[in-house]
A = this chain, B = another copy of it.
Amino acid sequence: MRRVERATLKEVAKRAGVHPATASRALNAATRSLVNAETAERVDQAAHQLGYTPNPIARSLKTSRSASIGLLLPDITNPLFPPIVRGIEDVLGTVGYNAWIVNTDNDPDRESAAIESFRGRSVEGFVVATARLEHPLLQELAATGTPMVLVNRRVANPSIPSVTPDDAAGVAMAMRHLHDLGHREIVHLAGPQDLSTGVVRRQAFRQALEDLRLPAGPGRVVGCTTWSEAAGAEAMEKLIASGVPYTAVLAGNDLIALGCYDVLRAQALTCPADVSVVGFNDTPLMHRVDPPLTSVRVPHYEIGAEAARLLLEVLGDAARHPRSLLLPLTLSVRGSTGPPPA
């Protein structure tokens, strides 16, 4: 950065004809209302004329506030996360906060190093998108009172605030849609079972089979080890090899659904004439794949924005009882679902 002499707060105060403490209060959004409006305006002008920039590093040492938070992501290149990040950043920006972002690839060592690094940078709290159901590191952080909000996924401990999609309701909606089209033989390619998203969607699938009085043998769920096209394809091949009858597939997420597409095509099966497929998340471009994918729409931007609001609330009032939000979902019906073959 430019190595020029900064104007000091004292110089600004002198030019405005006020005490430095008054100038400081006027220049800080949190305390500005304590200062006479005309005086505050005069301080602004003096600061502007002198090219004064407050030094937040010095300020954070004094007040222990860094106006920064740490954001832990599995991988920003997964299309789920950019809108979550954007939502967080938009809300933080309105109050002068910024987020440090790190990609952990779900590796506990990298996560642990990132948390240490962020603590060294005196972040005030964390937004965490990397939660696993059993997650000792997050449990430990939470136990020490570190302000934290989980996004998208939760840990088993319900006392850590979280903002997640209402996955169970989303699955019920998708199953109702398939049932309405006439499907009775439905299978589920489930996501990883060490993550809340994988478990909740699988349980909701089982619940829907029961509610809709559909066949529910154990072969109706095939697990995927990751949320990827490759894992989806592998699970679909297993399903076909198992001989379980099916006319519709509920995929754990959109990438798993796309892997399923590949196997159907390789087997000369047509979607939706032979098999209907439903995805989950409705990530960008799902209306453009072939065939356009019916998918449970998750409002990722809003999830990020709500998580940032929740964290700011916690930072503003540490005594506030922890809350978690479940955001409602909708179903985007497209060309990958239709009536079962006659």
**A interface residue numbers (CB < 8 A to B):** 1-2, 53-58, 60-61, 66, 75-77, 79, 81-83, 85-86, 89-90, 93, 96, 98-103, 116-117, 119-125, 144-147, 258, 284-285, 288-291, 301
* One of B86, B124, B285 near A1 (C-beta < 8 A): B124
Q: Which residues of B contact A58 (CB under 8 A)?
A: 61
Q: Which residues of B contact A2 (CB under 8 A)?
A: 144-146
B contact residues around A53 at 8 Å (CB): 116, 119-120
Collect the chain B residues with CB atoms within 8 Å of residue A57's CB. 57, 60-61, 66, 121-122
Interface centre among A86, A96, A258 (most CB of B within 10 A): A86
Query: Is A122 touching B289 in the complex (CB atoms < 8 A)?
Result: no
Asked if B86 and A76 sit within 8 Å, CB to CB, the answer is yes
Contacts of A146 in B (CB 8 A): 1-2
Contacts of A291 in B (CB 8 A): 290
Cα of A278 to Cα of B300 in the assembled complex, Å: 31
A284: contacting residue among B79, B116, B123, CB under 8 A: B79
Expressed in whole angstroms, the Cα–Cα distance for A273 and B83 within the complex equals: 36
A144's closest neighbor in chain B, by CB? B2
Measured between alpha carbons, how far is A99 from B117 in the docked complex, in Å?
13
- A103 with B123, Cβ < 8 A, contacts A79-B79, A144-B2, A288-B258 known: no
Chain B residues, Cβ within 8 Å of A83: 77
CB <8 Å contact, B100 and A98:
yes
- Whether B86 contacts A77 by the Cβ 8 Å rule is yes
Q: Is the CB of A1 within 8 A of B122?
A: yes
Contact across chains for B89 and A98 when beta carbons are under 8 A apart? no
Chain B residues, Cβ within 8 Å of A86: 75-77, 103
Partner of A120, one of B54, B76, B123: B54
User: What is the CB-to-nearest-CB distance from A264 to chain B, in angstroms, rounded to a whole number?
Assistant: 14
Q: How far is the CA of A98 from the CA of B85 in the complex (A)?
A: 16
- Asked whether B116 lies within 8 Å of A102 as measured between CB atoms, the reply is no
A172-B11 Cα distance, complex, nearest whole Å:
59
Distance in angstroms from A129 CB to nearest chain B CB is: 14
Measured between beta carbons, the chain B residues less than 8 angstroms from A54 are 120
Residue from the list B100, B145, B147 in contact with A100, Cβ < 8 A: B100
Most B Cβ at <10 Å: residue of A90, A145, A285: A285
Q: How far is the CA of A124 from the CA of B1 in the complex (A)?
A: 6
Listed A/B pairs (12) with beta-carbon separation below 8 Å: A53-B120, A55-B120, A56-B120, A77-B86, A77-B284, A77-B301, A79-B82, A98-B100, A99-B100, A99-B101, A284-B285, A289-B289
